[in-house]
Amino acid sequence: MLIKNGYSVVVIAPVDEYIIYKEAYPMVKHFGVRTLDRDGMNPVKDLFLILELWRRYKRLSLI
C-alpha cells in the first residue's frame, strides 16, 4: 500500500530466516541490526542497540 502510493519503505530489523518480504518486494530497503536481543535484560546491550538505531536513523536522515 505504501509503495503503491509512492512512499519509500525502509525496514530496520535483524537479518534472519524470517525475512520473506525481500523476494516479494525488492524495492524495500533493508538495514540489518546486529545488537537486537529479544530476551534483552541487559541495560548495556540495550544502550548499544539505541546507539545503533540512532546511527541508522541518522544515516537515513530520519532524525
Q: Which residues pair with 30 in a beta bridge?
A: 11
Query: Residue 44: helix, strand or coil by DSSP?
Result: helix
How far apart CA 11 and CA 32 sit, in angstroms, is: 8
Query: Number of H helices and number of E strands within the chain?
Result: 2, 2
pTM score: 0.68
Q: What is the pLDDT of residue 51?
A: 94
Q: What is the pLDDT of residue 63?
A: 55
Half-sphere exposure (CA, 13 Å, Cβ side) for 10?
Answer: 11
Q: What is the pLDDT of residue 52?
A: 92
- Residue 7's contacts (CB-CB under 8 Å, 6 or more residues apart) are none
